[in-house]
Amino acid sequence: MKNPIIATMAIMLVLLVSCSGCVNTPQPPPSATPVPTSTPPPPTTAPPVTTSTPEPLRTLPPAQVVDLVLSKDRTYSDIILHYNGGKGLIFVQKIMMRVTRSDGTVEEQNMHEGQKPQQGDEIIIRGSRGSDRCEVYVTSAGTTYKVKDESLIVAGAYQGN
């Protein structure tokens, strides 16, 4: 009685294995006209978005105050940040300046290559002949302070009214 059951199970197993590869989804016949494919447009580079609501300035604590002089060169429109030190000299870890030019381009630069700045160090970033926004951040005793946020124009430049 065992032989017919084993034989029947073997036949069913062979049928199942042979049928498992037989299921195909029908392919449409090749058409004579190619189907057009859409090519996505190339990515566009948008100018950086400037913040419409600037973050507030934060005053350094009295013991950490440093002297920073910000100016714009009349001849080349360079924006210059000069570090004169001050009584908070030992606390300053990093000074960074961000310039948003009148055309919307943004450039950031760290003083002294991101290391502890030395008295007399400068950051110079090329500005424009228009109005450029300049933000200065000082990291002192582990806290970052936005100490300056100014619009700079070349003295005597015509702004048009």
Domain boundaries, given as residue ranges, for the chain? 62-152
> Structure pTM?
0.64
- Could you read off the pLDDT of 86-110 as tens digits, one per residue? 999 999 999 999 999 999 999 999 9
pLDDT per position as a tens digit, 106-150: 999 999 999 999 999 999 999 999 999 999 999 999 999 999 999
Say if residues 147 and 68 touch (Cβ distance below 8 Å).
yes
End-to-end CA distance of the chain: 108
Token pair 């498992």 is found at 20
The CATH label, of 2.40.30.30, 1.10.1370.20, 2.60.40.10, 2.160.10.10, for the domain at 62-152 is 2.60.40.10
Q: Which amino acid is at 108?
A: E
Q: What confidence tier does 4 reach under pLDDT thresholds 50, 70, 90?
A: confident
Backbone angles phi, psi at 131, to 5 degrees: -90, 120
In DSSP terms, 42 is beta-bridged to none
Amino acid at position 102, single letter: S
Tokens (6 digits) for 119:
């008295």
* Position with higher pLDDT, 147 vs 18: 147
Amino acid at 65: V
Closest CA to 70 of 108, 10, 124, 16: 124
pLDDT digits over 54-72, tens only?
A: 679 999 999 999 999 999 9
Look up residue 50 and give its two tokens.
């400037």
Q: Report whether 94 contacts 145 (CB < 8 A).
A: no
